[in-house]
Amino acid sequence: MTRNVWDKRAVHIAGVAETALGEVRDQTELSMFAAAAREALGEAGLTLRDVDGVFVNYMGEEGSVQVAEYLGITAPRYADSTDLGGAAFEAFVHHAMLAVAEGRCEVALIGYASRQRTRRFRNMAGSPVDADSLAAQFQSPYGLPAPIGHYAMMAARHMHAYGTTPEQLAEVAVAARAWARLNPKAWSRDPLTVEQALASRMISTPLRRSDCCLVTDGGGAIVVTTAERARDAAKPSVRVIGAGESHTHWHLASMPDLTVTAGAVSGREAFAMAGITAADVDVLQPYDSFTITVLLALEDLGFCGKGEGGPFVSGGRLAPGGALPAMTSGGGLSYNHPGALGALLLVEAVRQLRGEAGERQVPDARIAVAHGVGGFNSTAATVVLAR
């Protein structure tokens, strides 16, 4: 690992917290996020009065404006409601890193909360499609449900091009479940084998129920700040040493290659900034909306070659005790998936680097990567953290 070029402008994550998870019937999204924000700020030794940067998404129109008003944050110096889907929160860390390093703000509050399960606004057919959209005119009428139909086509293409098997996809789901069984907060904790995964119901060929993420309520909060402010944190902070983001398409017909994602760019940028390679990563938090999402991320981030994701994950490589611990909370497949998982990937990455993960703790974890994905594998943002 080479020296990080940003050493002279060190930026830290000083606090993280989950919202209430699972099914949340006694709170609103705003109250869920407020509680998580106070907890994360408490870890950082800060309060809402210290926050001068607000980075949120999917919480009403002009998300940062409504959330700041609810929290009593008046006239923040920096505000961001960038829509990169599930990748938004890794992208927010990137944006906050640049803003804090350049003195545009000192305490950035990042996060999200959703009650998508309780509100029942997502189902097997996906989210409602705007009747005037291009997708409604050119994709949905031909039987392409969003988002699973898009990911199913990516999986089918990967199988055709590289010989990837359903058993290899199942290995990803089994690894996530093995980690979830060590996490008392995980939604799905029953044992899962490859055989059981392959026996689960087909949803959109070739993806089965076990290949698809949960639908839950949840969210998280992350505090990014200066090295000086982080010295007063109640818990050890972690360094943000690299970040990158990119996007490739919205409509599937515009995706340049169904087996290559925006992670090929975001990962390259983040790893170069951090001065690391894939071999330096101790723990990986990939976005596991579907099992194929993980395989494509592993290839595009450089953990294996293109088309080698299937063999790479075989034999429990991502599971507890494997060579590359990944999805260590249980991920979107077994722990929690509140519509946009990216904030929770960062929470888990920080806890692993702090040594706070309990039974699922990866020994001596020093470098962690959180890799967010959004849309129809449309966007990607990658963050490298160091203990």
Active site residues: 287, 335
Rounded to whole angstroms, the Cα distance separating 34 from 86 reads 20
- The answer to whether 156 touches 206, Cβ cutoff 8 Å, is yes
- The answer to whether 325 touches 283, Cβ cutoff 8 Å, is yes
Neighbours of 159 (CB within 10 A): 17
What kind and span of H or E run contains 101? helix 88-101
SS3 333: helix
Rounded to whole angstroms, the Cα distance separating 53 from 73 reads 9
Rounded to whole angstroms, the Cα distance separating 354 from 350 reads 6
Q: Give the contacts of 375 (CB within 8 A, at least 6 positions apart).
A: 84, 85, 147, 247, 250
Q: How far is CA 218 from CA 20, 58, 144, 335, 358, in A?
A: 6, 13, 27, 10, 21
What kind and span of H or E run contains 117? helix 116-119
User: Which sign, positive or negative, has the C-alpha torsion 128, 249, 265, 170?
Assistant: positive
189 burial via Cβ count (<10 Å: 0-12, 13-18, 19+) = middle
Neighbours of 193 (CB within 10 A): 12
